[in-house]
Structure 1
Amino acid sequence: RKPGFTLGAGILPFTHADYIGEVRESGLSYLSAIKNATQYRQISDDITLNAYAAYIFGLIDLAFPDGRPVGFWFNQIKQALYLIDSGLDPQIIANVIEVQMLKEYGVEPNWRGCVIDGRADLPLDFSESYGGLLCQNHWDKDPHRLHASPRAIFYLRRFSTLDLNKVERINVKLDTKAELRRILDVIYTDMVGVTPKAKRFLDQMHQWQDRLPDDSE
């Protein structure tokens, strides 16, 4: 960035603004003005929040090739960044995006109920083979089901339809968060087959945190 560059504030990472310019199919495109620039300062200053935001953008980049409109996802990601920047749990917000974005990769698990009989009044578990949930009556159909806890399944089902604009607070236990991470990692590795670069850093970060001594002991 050159000294005196008047558009500088609007092109910083994690900045939302109204951009005016010309986009050309060939040759150079350019910006002529930037208005209403707002930077997500907490995300910019915190390495953990930064990593989760980068991961969310990575999911978008892999799902939408350059030039393809993101549609609904523009406001959804904008709200996700706002919530993260406001101090809400970044992992859970990223998990919501992960669950809802599965359909953009051509993977749309049935979260409503058992894929065989539709029941949702019995304990449920996730089956990769069946592409969704199995009720307890049909667990024998897939010995390799994910053996998820009822609470993890509850959150995954909730995430699939959650409106981030209505989220005001998040309070999820650490063991449930770890299980959600495990389940979604399996789904994205085995059923989607994509891994944003930021995911590797997040995994390393979790490993570092797991090695820290427990202050409660």
Structure 2
Amino acid sequence: MAVQTTARFEGIVMFRKDYRERDQLVKFFTREFGKKMFYIRGARKRGFKLAAAILPFTRGTYVGLIRENGLCYLNAEKKLIQFEQINQDIERNAYITYILNLIDSAFADNQSIPVWFDMAANALTMINEGFDPEIISHIFELQLLPVFGVQQEWQQCVICQRNDLPLDYSESSGGMLCQNHWHLDPQRSHLDRRTIFYLQRLSSIQLQKIRSIKVRNETKIRLKTLIDTIYQDEVGLNLKSKHFIDTMDSWN
């Protein structure tokens, strides 16, 4: 017998898709219950009373019937936050879509992950306020790697654990090599110190502690190249939202 309860919850609308003639399936990232799919009856009808509550990327407090497994049902919204700049800007929209897709891919449904909910909520606010969405997406990419089963050592040499010598990234070694051990990987990344610095910071920093983001374009290119390589070679994740961002970059 399926367990179900009527509950108040915090949620972020991840995506929605049309279902049947007048309905929609809406996936919420909830703080209390993890990712849940909701069946919204009549969502496509004109004048639907909860239309604003199920717009993509809306954050709010909701009341609904929560099932342990299977579809849930939305009863009411109590408080909504809309992110106008994200909704109006294709770049911000693309990066938030990608971040939520990463979370959706990394975790199973129905798994409570409040730390990641709070990170996603902070990302929405920060990107809406104008923080660099690319760098914020890199924070998620780097910090989600262990969830995908890819353990990288960013802070010290994987061989001797020293962090007082110049470091460089080695894919074959699973992290950083200090200068004394560079000879172990002739194919190491040959990253500059600035890029190493940002890899170390972004892989460990808490979003809510960031007050500003200023990263040089050349450093952003190196970060993107390395992280893309890790996701292609070691995670094996290919998301349409990431492909769209890469296509969008080519416009520039």
Q: TM-score range by the shorter chain?
A: over 0.9
The number of aligned residues is 209
- 1:82 matched to which residue of 2? 125
Distance 1:173 1:35, change over 3 A: same
- 1:120 matched to which residue of 2? 163
1:145-164 to structure 2, matched below 5 A, reads 145-164=188-207
- 2:184 matched to which residue of 1? 141
Contact 1:62 1:196 in 2 (8 A): no
Task: Tell me the amino acid that sits aligned with residue 68 of structure 1.
Answer: Q
Task: Tell me the amino acid that sits aligned with residue 107 of structure 1.
Answer: V
Aligned-partner Cα distance in 2 for 1:61–1:191 = 18
Q: SS state of the match for residue 55, structure 1?
A: helix
Match of 1:172 among 189, 195, 215: 215
Greater mean deviation of Cα atoms: 200-209 or 68-77: 68-77
- 2:149 matched to which residue of 1? 106
Aligned-partner Cα distance in 1 for 2:186–2:148 = 26
- 1:67 matched to which residue of 2? 110
- 1:4 Cα offset (Å): 2.4
Distance 1:159 1:27, change over 3 A: closer
Structure holding more helix per residue = 1
- Larger RCO (CA within 8 A; separation ≥ 6): 1
In structure 2, the gaps of 5 or more residues are: 1-43
Distance 1:80 1:113, change over 3 A: same
Aligned-partner Cα distance in 2 for 1:147–1:80 = 31
Match of 1:94 among 137, 147, 151: 137
Q: SS state of the match for residue 67, structure 2?
A: coil
1:24-43 to structure 2, matched below 5 A, reads 24-25=67-68, 28-43=71-86
Distance 1:121 1:25, change over 3 A: closer
TM-score when normalising by structure 1: 0.92
Instruction: Among all aligned residue pairs of Structure 1 and Structure 2, give the percentage whose two residues are the same amino acid.
Output: 49
- 1:121 Cα offset (Å): 1.3
Aligned-partner Cα distance in 1 for 2:224–2:82 = 28
Contact 1:128 1:191 in 2 (8 A): no
Structure holding more strand per residue = 2
Aligned-partner Cα distance in 2 for 1:27–1:120 = 48
Aligned-partner Cα distance in 1 for 2:70–2:100 = 26
- 1:90 Cα offset (Å): 0.5
TM-score when normalising by structure 2: 0.80
After superposition, what is the alpha-carbon deviation per residue over 1:117-153, rounded to whole angstroms, capped at 9, x for unaligned?
Answer: 1111111111111111001111110111112111111
| Pairing 1:44–2:87 present | yes
Task: Tell me the amino acid that sits aligned with residue 171 of structure 1.
Answer: K
Aligned-partner Cα distance in 2 for 1:162–1:53 = 19
Distance 1:143 1:17, change over 3 A: same
Task: Tell me the amino acid that sits aligned with residue 225 of structure 2.
Answer: R
Contact 2:69 2:110 in 1 (8 A): no
In structure 1, the gaps of 5 or more residues are: 210-217
- 1:18 matched to which residue of 2? 61
